[in-house]
Amino acid sequence: MKLKKSDDERWMGLLRRISVFFGRDIASGETAERLRQLYPGTDSNHLIRDYYKRKTDYIKKIALILLILFILLIVSELNKPKRLEGNRLIRNGYGEGEYRIELTASGEGLGQEEFEIEVREQSPGSAQLKSDMDLVYERLKEIIIGDNIATDHIVSDLNLPSELNEYPFVLEWESENPLIIRDNGKINKEYLIEEPQNINLYLRICYEEEIGNYTIPLVLYPPEADPEDVRRIIEGSISDEDPEDDILLPESVGETLLIWKEKRGSVLFVYPIAAILILVAVWIGKDEDVISDLKKRNEALTEEYMEFVIGLQLLLSSGTTLRGAILQLGGDYKRKREKGGSRKYVYEEMLPCIRKLQEGMGEVACYEYFASRCNIPIYRKLMGILIQNLTKGNSGLIESLNGEIRDTFDRRKNEVKRIGEEASVKLLLPMMMLLVMVMVIIMIPAFMSFG
């Protein structure tokens, strides 16, 4: 009779098949071993199942976000206006602006060539052009005054733009009296008199062959104060392209027909690859988190080593047997944890060993089991000392533990010294930078004084 598999068993089976596909075995891999060391006393199957379930849920969320972004990217590409129909480029309407387009032309025996073409917008009608020029003229009367109050009260430089962003016009300025008002809007204050002066400013609004002439009357007053000189010249360019409705591209070169295609970005092809790489990086990164946690666990075990050895030495010195000392240390820690005490890895690793000791496992096997769980050289050495004294007698155990305490203290001193030396080396670069800054501060005034 076949038993029905539980959901947990089916989940573990799925994870195992995925891991085998990637060349890894979940239950026996390095990540599983790290999890067992990080969470001692917890069922290994539960640990592995819970870790990979959380990891898979995390990957699912990222995959969903990447999928949504990919869909938005596709929609954006589909909504782009179609500008190329066969060998005809469609112009934007008047006021919609020009655009640049990348095209590829290919033909039999010609290979594939790339072209970048600038397509101007459609030319407006005469009535529309005159209306827009009048609107620009009215706007410019407000723009050119700059920091002045109005055109009938000019005391500082004018702001004469060469174009307006909203309109495809080129603006040309000419002063009635260039000695007082230059064509760039600068006012020559040397020629100003105490009485107001009437000067006309001539404006030409140019669009291809069409030109609109306008006059802006100004009244100049002596300046009340010297304003800051402001330069606002916007450079523009005019394409000499034939302003027909559409641009006809050549259909052939000699007897070879040309096939025109708009050059699209490769982002649609790169995106899925990038998304897969991101998911793989996140999957691997979660394993790196486990490695980082394991490193912190090993560092904590190393820091807790002296406290553990001192506690063991004190109990043995008071006449407690080695087995009794181990049981008492584990029992004290368990009671402290129940009252909200802090977690210590060395005692967390000891509790499963104590349970096995109480269930009948031999002391030698139990200490070997503890050393393998900690998996750190100093704990292997300590357990070796305990096992050696069990087999040969406890006469020198206290002295061995005292020696181990001294060695641990020396190791800590050396470690602190090493960290201090590394910190001093890291400070060399900032100190050199400060030295360079001080030298610059001293040398620049010296050179300036020589000059």
Domain with 41, as residue range(s), is 10-77+273-284
Per-residue pLDDT of 248-273, as tens digits, reads 666 655 455 667 677 666 666 777 88
Residues 277 and 327 in one domain: no
What pLDDT score was predicted for residue 12? 54
Residues 144 and 50 in one domain: no
What band does 13 get if pLDDT is binned at 50, 70 and 90? low
Q: Is 117 exposed, middle or buried (0-12, 13-18, 19+ CB in 10 A)?
A: middle
Q: Is the pTM here over 0.85, yes or no? A: no
- Nearest Cα neighbor of 18 from 49, 62, 58 is 49
Instruction: Write 262-267 long-range contacts (CB < 8 A, 24+).
Output: 262/83, 262/84, 262/101, 262/102, 262/103, 263/101, 263/102, 263/103, 263/104, 263/114, 264/77, 267/73
What pLDDT score was predicted for residue 238? 30
Residues 167 and 206 in one domain: yes
What pLDDT score was predicted for residue 7? 56
What pLDDT score was predicted for residue 236? 33
178 is a domain residue: yes
Percentage of the chain with pLDDT > 90? 0
Residues 418 and 331 in one domain: yes
Name the helix (H) or strand (E) containing 115: strand 111-119
State how many domains the chain has.
3
Q: Is 136 exposed, middle or buried (0-12, 13-18, 19+ CB in 10 A)?
A: buried
Residue 189 is classified by DSSP as: G
Last residue of a domain, one of 205, 220, 235: 220
What band does 94 get if pLDDT is binned at 50, 70 and 90? low
334 is a domain residue: yes
Distance in angstroms (rounded) separating the CA atoms of residues 159 and 161: 6
Residues 378 and 346 in one domain: yes
